[in-house]
Amino acid sequence: MGTTVPLRPEISQSPVPWPVRDLFVAIALFLATTGFVLWQNSQVAVLWDLSYLLDTSYRISLGQMPYRDFPLVHPPLTFLIQAVLMRFAGRVYPLQIAYAALVGGLGSVIAWRILLSTLRERVQHAWTVSLLLAAPLSVVGIYSIYPHPIYDCDCTFAILVAVFLLQRFGPNEVSGSSVLRKWVRPALTGAAVVLPVFFKQNMGLPFLLAVVAGVLSLLAARLLGVTKRSIAFDRPDTADLLRLLATITAVFLAALALIQLLAGLGNYLHWTVRFAGERRLPGFADMLAVYHQPAFLWTLPTLAAGLLLLHSRYASKLWGEILGICLVSAPFLGSIVFLFLNDDLDERGDNLLALWPLLLLVSAFFAIAQLRKGITLARLMPFFVLAAIHGTFLSQQLWGSTYAIWPLLMVLVAQILTSIPQTSRLSALTLATAISATFLVCGSFYAVGHERLNYIQIPDTPLSRATLPALRGIADRGPFLPDFEELVRFADKEIPVQDGLLLLPGEDPFYFATGRAPQFPVLLLDRTTDPYSPEELLATARSHDTQWVIVKRRLQLNDDPLPQRERVMALVASEFTLYRKLNGYDVYRRL
């Protein structure tokens, strides 16, 4: 206990073989995550988000071009992936469920390999510690909390792939002239860094900018001779970094050129940057609000005291190490205690999510402190992840944005553990156990309780399962799914396929379910996607020869997304007459 256990310098680019135990863990983690995602899909269906995803992807599969033919406030890749699946496999919703489960499982495995690469040779019992940190991802993984295909989850997966490749970027061979080193790796890594931008702009763009800034700073540091002390342990040489920078630039410009050719770059920037920013971008004060946590009054001093003790000379004594570990673990174990002392789901969720800003602050502190040893790609990695996380908060700040990015938080936790002096073989292992237990126990209650989905109604009623062919696999509670299937059957019988439709507010995946071609530009009408005033909405319906308006009365959403519903309905009544009242819908036909 009296001396620090020697560890090799920080480097994780050497090839890592996959022994049998690694393969077993990868399979187990994959199956646990996919199984949980499949189970989640069997318990809940968020019709609002499914409508946006499925109907938008379906109209793309029919050949309609986003940004040019219809507005889309998000980048295209998630919708393009689903459109390709629909084009080749048809409108079969189990395919979307399988996609979410597959990506969720792969995301957990890739995150585990990132954790292992981060911890190896810098933390005692790295393999066990990485497994402990990865275990909670089965219940808080990419698609575990929100189980349907969505851009946030896909973007997180793309960021994980990019981090995975960045960790291994640079020469693994002694020979420095191989084609693999010179061209293939920079091309793959550069493309992976750019890809997240075209899944979710507020997540992918900060990540891209952080990586570019990191590479430029590393090149500048080498030019100024700042990194001489650690150059032996920073495997990408200057030529590698220049190739990476060149491929990032080339891939990004090629993507913009393709968008210009297909949809028009001006259209793309208008909807995904200007319009989306106007509707969703919070103020700076709102962004800082995530760090105004009442729990900081005890968690921050406790955690700071524990970390200071572990970095002091007293950590070499048994009592010092035990006390330091207890202090650092207290905020996490306190969340478990709070879980069993409080029955309110909202307060349980808030208590768990309050750990986020705490860990982000600690991670940023250690990341900055590590730069004193010299700038390396490995030491810049936390900044890349922090940029992606804070970009995610631009959507819904802390409480609504974390559902897809728990693997990124675990990467930061691993970085924190590498910064704690290894005064014994048990310090990192004990801390990892406390953190893992917290996220596994509290995260399970958070995910199973659908706390993140509190924006929809989930009545305590028996499950309803879809019977229509395209919707098979969708399960939900309450009257919403039976109501929707009644609407679909009514439309098949009484609304001609060629007639134009307007659905208010567009909560259901109507076009995916019916196979009709959407004719109205905007299918989901809420503040973040709808550019129309009530008068413009009716004028657009008139210009597109809309013959039917279908108004949903029983919404699954808790809040009405139509802020001017009375004005909209007054305008609808001026040109349409009530044709049929269904259980959950009013159907209007043009006069």
DSSP 357-386: HHHHHHHHHHHHHHGGG---HHHHHHHHHH
- By the 8 A CB rule, do 428 and 328 touch? no
**What is d(CA 111, CA 122) in angstroms, rounded to the nearest whole number?**
18
Whole-structure pTM value? 0.93
Phi, psi for residue 459 in degrees, rounded to 5? -65, 155
Neighbouring-strand partners of residue 590: 576
For 411-459, the pLDDT digits (tens) are 999 999 998 886 566 788 999 999 999 999 999 999 999 999 999 999 9
Q: Is 24 exposed, middle or buried (0-12, 13-18, 19+ CB in 10 A)?
A: exposed
Say what angle helices 318-341 and 427-448 make with each other, to 10 degrees. 10
pLDDT at residue 43, as a whole number: 95
**What is d(CA 332, CA 409) in angstroms, rounded to the nearest whole number?**
14
Q: Which two tokens stand for residue 214?
A: 């990191």
Q: Is 224 exposed, middle or buried (0-12, 13-18, 19+ CB in 10 A)?
A: exposed
Neighbouring-strand partners of residue 577: 589
Phi, psi for residue 348 in degrees, rounded to 5? -60, -45
- The residue with tokens 């156990």 is 433
**What is d(CA 108, CA 113) in angstroms, rounded to the nearest whole number?**
9
- By the 8 A CB rule, do 398 and 357 touch? yes
**What is d(CA 121, CA 129) in angstroms, rounded to the nearest whole number?**
12
Other beta carbons less than 10 A from residue 505's beta carbon: 21
Peptide bond into 505 cis (omega under 30): yes
Other beta carbons less than 10 A from residue 307's beta carbon: 19
Domain ranges of the chain: 20-44+92-170+179-453, 470-590
- By the 8 A CB rule, do 325 and 425 touch? no
Phi, psi for residue 576 in degrees, rounded to 5? -130, 155
For 377-417, the pLDDT digits (tens) are 889 999 999 999 999 988 887 778 899 999 999 999 999 99
**What is d(CA 243, CA 248) in angstroms, rounded to the nearest whole number?**
9
- The residue with tokens 């946030």 is 152
- By the 8 A CB rule, do 125 and 143 touch? no
Instruction: List, for the chain, all residue ranges whose pLDDT scores fall below the cut of 50.
Output: 1-16, 171-176, 228-233
Give Cα 517 to chain centroid, integer Å: 30
- What are the angstrom distances between the C-alpha of 281 and each of 268, 396, 413, 544? 17, 9, 28, 31
CA-nearest of 422, 476, 442, 458 to 557 is: 458
**What is d(CA 508, CA 90) in angstroms, rounded to the nearest whole number?**
18
Q: Is 3 exposed, middle or buried (0-12, 13-18, 19+ CB in 10 A)?
A: exposed
pLDDT at residue 422, as a whole number: 66
Other beta carbons less than 10 A from residue 379's beta carbon: 23
- By the 8 A CB rule, do 540 and 521 touch? yes
CA-nearest of 402, 427, 428, 424 to 413 is: 428
- By the 8 A CB rule, do 458 and 82 touch? no
pLDDT at residue 17, as a whole number: 61
- By the 8 A CB rule, do 204 and 382 touch? no
- By the 8 A CB rule, do 185 and 169 touch? yes
Q: Give the CA-trace dihedral at 230, 236, 239, 243, to 10 degrees.
A: -140
**What is d(CA 181, CA 173) in angstroms, rounded to the nearest whole number?**
8
**What is d(CA 336, CA 356) in angstroms, rounded to the nearest whole number?**
15
CA-nearest of 511, 481, 496 to 589 is: 496
